[in-house]
Chains A and B, each alone.
Chain A
Amino acid sequence: MARITLSNLAHSYFADPKGEADYALKQMDHVWEDGGAYALLGSSGCGKTTLLNIISGLVRPSQGRVLFGDRDVTDAATSDRNIAQVFQFPVVYDTMTVRDNLAFPLRNRGMDPAYVASRVNQIARMIGMEAELGRKARGLTADAKQKISLGRGMVREDVNAILFDEPLTVIDPHMKWELRTQLKSLHREFGHTMIYVTHDQTEALTFADRVVVMYDGRVVQIGTPQDLFDTPEHTFVGYFIGSPGMNLLEARVEGNRATVAGVSVPLSADYGVPRGRVQIGIRPEFVSLTAAEGLPVTIRRIEDVGRHRIVRADFNGTGINAVLGEGTALSPDMTRLVFAPERIGVYADDWRVSPQGRQPGRAA
Chain B
Amino acid sequence: MDKTPNQKAWFLVLPVLVLVAFSAVIPLMTVVNYSVQDTFGDNEFFWAGLEWFEEMLGSDRLWNALGRQVMFSAIVLAIQVPLGIFIALNMPKKGFWASVCLVLMSLPLLIPFNVVGTIWQIFGRVDIGLLGHTLAALGLDYNYTNDAFDAWATIIVMDVWHWTSLIALLCYAGLQSIPQAYYQAAKIDQASRWKVFRYIELPKMRGVLLIAVLLRFMDSFMIYTEPFVVTGGGPGNATTFLSIDLVKMAVGQFDLGPAAAFSIMYFLVILLVSWVFYTVMTNLDKEEVR
Contact = CB atoms under 8 A, between A and B. Distances in A.
B289 interface: yes
Contacts, number: 54
Interface residues of A, number: 24
B101 interface: no
A108 B184 contact: no
Given A93-B199, A95-B203, A96-B199, A136 B289 contact: yes
A79 interface: yes
A65 B82 CA distance: 43
A85 B188 contact: yes
Contacts of A95: 199, 203, 288
Given A136-B289, A139-B289, A108 B191 contact: yes
A236 interface: no
A80 to B, nearest CB: 9
Contacts of B182: 91
Interface in A85-127: 85, 87-89, 91, 93-96, 104-105, 108-109
B189 A152 contact: yes
B290 A78 contact: no
A214 B173 CA distance: 37
B185 A85 contact: yes
B187 interface: yes
A108 B185 contact: no
Interface in A167-223: none
Contacts of A56: 184, 188
A78 B199 contact: no
Interface string A308-329: 0000000000000000000000
Contacts of A89: 179, 181
A88 B185 CA distance: 12
A291 interface: no
A124 to B, nearest CB: 17
A88 B179 CA distance: 11
Interface of A, secondary structure class, is: loop
B189 A108 contact: yes
Nearest to A85: B188
Interface string B184-217: 1101111110010001100100000000000000
A87 B181 contact: yes
A261 interface: no
A136 B290 contact: yes
A94 B203 contact: yes
> Which of A77, A85, A152 gathers the greatest number of chain B CB atoms within 10 Å?
A85
B288 A78 contact: no
19 contacts: A56-B184, A58-B184, A77-B187, A85-B184, A87-B185, A89-B181, A91-B182, A91-B185, A93-B203, A95-B199, A108-B189, A108-B190, A108-B191, A108-B192, A136-B288, A136-B289, A139-B289, A152-B185, A152-B189
Interface of A: 56, 58, 77-79, 83-85, 87-89, 91, 93-96, 104-105, 108-109, 136, 138-139, 152
Given A91-B179, A139-B289, 20 more contacts: A56-B184, A58-B184, A77-B187, A78-B184, A79-B187, A83-B188, A85-B184, A89-B181, A91-B182, A93-B199, A93-B200, A96-B199, A104-B189, A104-B191, A105-B188, A105-B190, A108-B190, A109-B190, A138-B288, A152-B189
